[in-house]
């Protein structure tokens, strides 16, 4: 189960591959973006039914560590529902603030990202807010490993022709050796990103990189490819009415995911899932304009 701690799309980065959409609030400022009481109330309501969950995961439409009361939320869940495990998906930026480490120390699994070591490549992919740089992120990840007893699964998003050169891969490898994550997860584009030029990496190339990392890192970390190389189109998880409503709206005029989310009163993540399946099935296509990706009927 995912908990969205910030509204769409508050983040210290504006990654070219972001599947959620263009960052609208590029910031490193922590705040109570979603009221603490609202989060706890919704959580209590959901957990009353004792759902079977692998993890309760802080993730969503932006960077969860930007929530100023994350530490209190973690403590509340650990105290009230000790049988559930907690995971945090983060772009690693806020880990550079040592004060925030205390907030997440009781989480069971942290999944931080590191896509590049070279400053120019880091900027080209992650397009961070001005105060962020990869050296500080790597240092923070090393410190995290030294102080955090839970699992760390480091995600590296690979883009062909950008961060897959031998030089950059070796820099990433060197950083990974120092960070010592339990796992390294290699990812590539699965859904349309913010920029149309970002394409999914060739699966064979991804596998070669995985094998190279596995040989170089030996037994220190498990290396895996998490990119979905063959995307299955499944509608059975979607309400068929929603698919029809989305198709109906974009057959009248091109819409962004946010347009559809507002008009249909659905969470943007739900709309994204439907859009991405329709794109994979070749029924609709996206064109990228100033306001983001616009979807229209193909043909």
Judged by the rule CB under 6 A, the positions of this chain that interact with ligand SF4 are 11, 13-15, 18, 20, 23, 62-63, 91
Nearest residue (CB) to ligand SF4, 129 versus 151: 129
User: Which residue, 24 or 245, is less far from ligand SF4 as judged by CB?
Assistant: 24
Which two structure tokens, joined as six digits, stand for 151?
């699992």
Residue 156's DSSP bridge partners are 186
Smallest distance, ligand SF4 to C-beta of residue 83, A:
29
State the nearest-atom distance from the C-beta of 123 to ligand SF4, in Å: 13
Nearer to ligand SF4, 113 or 277 (CB): 113
Q: How far is the CB of 228 from ligand SF4 (least distance, A)?
A: 16
What's the min distance (Å) between Cβ of 290 and ligand SF4?
Answer: 17
- Contact between 260 and 293 under an 8 Å Cβ cutoff? The reply is no
Q: Nearer to ligand SF4 by C-beta: 94 or 278?
A: 94
| Contact indicator for 63, 108 with CB cutoff of 8 Å | no
Shortest Å distance, C-beta 63 to ligand SF4: 6
Q: Which is nearer to ligand SF4, 91 or 176 (CB)?
A: 91
Least distance in angstroms from the C-beta of 292 to ligand SF4: 13
Are 122 and 116 in contact by the 8 Å Cβ rule? The answer is yes
The residue among 262, 264, 249, 254 whose CA lies nearest residue 291 is: 254
Chain centroid to CA 178: 23
Task: Select 111 or 274, whichever has its Cβ closest to ligand SF4.
Answer: 111
Q: Which is nearer to ligand SF4, 152 or 250 (CB)?
A: 152
List, in sequence order, the alpha helices (H) in the chain: 36-47, 70-80, 98-104, 119-126, 134-147, 166-179, 203-217, 240-252, 257-264, 268-280
Rounded to a whole number of angstroms, the minimum distance from the CB of residue 31 to ligand SF4 is 16
The alpha carbon dihedral of 167, 168, 173, 179 has a sign of positive
The CB-of-60 to ligand SF4 minimum distance in angstroms stands at: 8
Asked if 50 and 27 touch (Cβ cutoff 8 Å), the reply is: no
Nearer to ligand SF4, 63 or 103 (CB): 63
Query: What values do phi and psi take at 157, rounded to 5?
Result: -95, 120
**Contact call for residues 270 and 20 (beta carbons, < 8 A):** no
Tally Cβ neighbours within 10 Å of residue 200: 19
Which of 150, 206, 159, 152 has its CA nearest to residue 178? 152
């Amino acid at each position: 189960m995912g908990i969205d701690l910030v509204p769409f799309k508050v983040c210290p980065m504006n990654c070219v591959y972001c599947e959620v959409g263009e960052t609208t609030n590029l910031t490193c400022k922590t705040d109570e973006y979603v009221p603490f009481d609202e989060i706890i109330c919704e959580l209590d309501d959901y957990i009353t039914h004792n759902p079977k969950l692998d993890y309760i995961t802080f993730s969503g439409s932006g960077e969860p560590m930007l929530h100023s009361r994350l530490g209190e939320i973690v403590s509340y869940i650990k105290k009230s529902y000790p049988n559930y495990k907690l995971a945090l998906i983060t772009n690693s930026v806020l880990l550079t603030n040592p004060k925030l480490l205390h907030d997440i120390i009781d989480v069971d699994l942290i999944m931080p990202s590191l896509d590049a070591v070279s400053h120019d490549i880091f900027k080209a992919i992650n397009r961070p807010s001005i105060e962020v740089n990869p050296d500080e992120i790597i240092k923070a990840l090393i410190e995290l490993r030294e102080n955090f007893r839970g699992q760390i699964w480091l995600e590296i998003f690979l883009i062909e022709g950008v961060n897959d050169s031998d030089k950059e891969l070796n820099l990433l490898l060197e950083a990974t050796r120092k960070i010592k994550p339990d796992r390294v997860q290699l990812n590539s584009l699965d859904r349309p990103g913010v920029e149309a030029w970002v394409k999914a990496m060739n699966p064979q190339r991804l596998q070669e990189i995985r094998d190279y990392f596995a040989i170089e890192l030996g037994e220190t970390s498990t290396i895996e490819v998490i990119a979905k190389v063959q995307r299955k189109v499944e509608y059975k998880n979607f309400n068929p009415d929603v698919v029809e409503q989305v198709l109906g709206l974009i057959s009248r005029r091109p819409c962004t995911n946010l347009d559809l989310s507002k008009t249909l009163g659905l969470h943007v993540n739900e709309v994204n899932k439907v859009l991405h399946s329709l794109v994979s099935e070749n029924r609709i296509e996206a064109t990228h304009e100033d306001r983001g990706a616009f979807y229209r009927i193909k043909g």
